[in-house]
Chain A
């Protein structure tokens, strides 16, 4: 039986990808950010997940305004890094896991989640930056990836409650897959940041840390946070944090925190990172 053994939350700021690609991860600016991921890189080497369900948002790379899927799951065998306007990142192609992805997609639809299914797409920094943060610069990514793209750009985006419930359904789906697989789920994006308008640059250390607190243990409080609270407290792009709730929902009733990291700033953004395991 496949099993979700851990959840990882992480920001996916594009500048982190630039730092990795240009070998700047140890300098004064980026050093403290990357130091907070060292624990996780070592931990992943021993965990050796077979598959990662990677929850992220596309930043006008694979999707434009022609089609805006709320929840989309990648069922393809491989995905190439997207050209986001300055050429694709020179990172390995991403390998999918079509058997598990199709199993999850079918199960979710029967479980009342009307998923969009994607067989072909390119994946942007939202997906490849977390891989670089957790795995460094290997020749080949050490796990198969099932991309799960969430619309967090065009409003209304899905509610936190719906995201959490989707996570719960993903857990049920994974656990009904017959093959023995070690599956992780990653929620990416955030934390506080605003990239637009005169209020750009807003960061909220206190709120972000309260959000991290709510992911640990058996609290369900985070699923009720309304969009307006994310917008007021964490900036217009802080809404990406609803994607972390898909990860949290997939970990069951109670979680234990294995590792946590927070750093301000990276470019316009507050960096947050947490590693959780189910504790039921």
Chain B
């Protein structure tokens, strides 16, 4: 009989992700919750959809099975909220592009910095991992 190597418990595997400061790992639970937010964002890859969205954002969003909370977060471009609701940055980036924002500028809106401050931090070597690895461990 084949040797069944014990694999890591999925529960333990997922639990560790909650210990990372300021980070929402795109787990299956988030992927399920944010499915329509991400598929909406994906639709913006087509020029005609971008035009329809820009002409009337609310009406375009109403075509999607997205909660009111999700629609409000999309209209407000509240990206941290969208991450909480299961949005993923590679999908949400289609909305950055629709808005004409660079990736770095859009990313900076999720931090506590202005874009110039964020850009300067990156030029100085980026955010240090020191103290940013673990909530519980504080290292």
Q: Provide the residues of chain B in CB contact with A203, threshold 8 Å.
A: 122, 125-127
Specify which chain A residues have a CB less than 8 angstroms from the CB of B20 in the assembled complex: 199, 231-232, 236
Asked if residues A65 and B107 are in contact (CB atoms below 8 Å), the reply is: no
Whether, in the assembled complex, B17 has its beta carbon less than 8 Å from a beta carbon of chain A, the answer is yes
> Does the CB pair A194–B42 fall under 8 Å?
no
Given A232-B134, A236-B23, the answer on whether A201 and B28 have CB atoms closer than 8 Å is no
Among residues of A, the one whose C-beta sits closest to the C-beta of B133 is A232
State the CA gap A199–B19 with chains docked (Å): 13
**Chain B residue with the shortest CB-CB distance to A231:** B20
Instruction: Map CB proximity to B onto A210-235 as digits: 1 under 8 Å, 0 otherwise.
Output: 00000000000000001110011111
A64, A195, A198, A226: which contacts B103 (Cβ < 8 A)?
A195
Chain A contacts for B23, CB-based, 8 A: 194, 196-197, 199, 231, 235-236
Q: Which of B85-136 contact A (CB under 8 A)?
A: 88-91, 93-94, 97-98, 102-104, 107-108, 110-112, 118, 121-123, 125-129, 132-134
B71 within 8 A of A: no
- B31: A residues at CB distance < 8 A: 65, 154
CB distance from A243 to the nearest CB of B (A): 15
A199 near B93 (CB under 8 angstroms)?
Answer: no
- In the complex, what distance in Å separates the CA atom of A84 from the CA atom of B90? 10
A153 within 8 Å of B (CB atoms): yes
Asked whether B27 is an interface residue with its Cβ less than 8 Å from the other chain, the reply is yes
Query: What does DSSP make chain A's interface, helix, strand, loop or mixed?
Result: loop
Given A201-B118, A201-B121, A232-B129, CB of A196 within 8 Å of CB of B28: no
A77–B98 CA distance with the chains assembled, in angstroms: 32
Which A residues lie within 8 Å of B93 (CB)? 59-60, 85
Interface 9-residue window, one of A136-144, A249-257, A261-269: A261-269
Is the Cβ of A59 less than 8 Å from the Cβ of B83? no
Contact A199 B98 (CB under 8 A): no
Answer whether residue B24 sits at the interface, using C-beta atoms and an 8 A cutoff.
yes
Within 8 A of B (CB), among A150-209: 153-156, 192, 194-205, 207
Scan A58-84; emit 1 where CB is below 8 A from any B CB, else 0. 011100111000000000000000011
- Please, which residues of chain A bring their CB within 8 A of the CB of B38? 60, 64-65
Interface status of A115 (Cβ within 8 A of chain B): no
Q: How far is the CB of B20 from chain A (nearest CB, A)?
A: 6
Given contacts A85-B45, A155-B25, A198-B80, contact A204 B129 (CB under 8 A): yes
Q: Are A202 and B132 in contact (CB under 8 A)?
A: yes
How many residues in B have their beta carbons less than 8 Å from beta carbons of A?
55
Kindly identify, within residues 31 to 90 of chain A, every residue whose CB is under 8 Å from any CB belonging to chain B: 59-61, 64-66, 83-86
Q: Are A84 and B25 in contact (CB under 8 A)?
A: no
Instruction: Identify the closest chain B residue to A234 (Cβ).
Output: B129
Q: Which of A154, A234, A237 contacts B28 (CB 8 A)?
A: A154
Q: Is B44 an interface residue (CB 8 A)?
A: yes
- Tell me if A270 counts as interface (CB < 8 A to partner B): yes
Kindly state whether residue A121 has any CB partner on chain B within 8 Å.
no
List, in ascending order, chain B residues with CB within 8 A of A267's CB. 102-104, 122
11 pairs from A and B in contact (CB 8 Å cutoff): A14-B103, A59-B93, A65-B31, A65-B91, A194-B127, A197-B80, A199-B21, A203-B126, A226-B8, A228-B13, A267-B102
Identify the A interface with B (CB < 8 A).
Answer: 14-15, 59-61, 64-66, 83-86, 153-156, 192, 194-205, 207, 226-228, 231-237, 264-265, 267-268, 270
Closest 8 A/B residue pairs (Cβ)? A203-B126, A199-B22, A85-B97, A198-B22, A232-B133, A201-B127, A196-B89, A265-B122
Known contacts A15-B103, A198-B80; 20 further A-B pairs (Cβ under 8 A): A60-B38, A60-B94, A154-B31, A156-B13, A194-B127, A196-B24, A197-B80, A197-B110, A198-B112, A199-B23, A200-B127, A201-B122, A202-B126, A202-B127, A202-B129, A227-B13, A231-B23, A265-B126, A268-B104, A268-B107
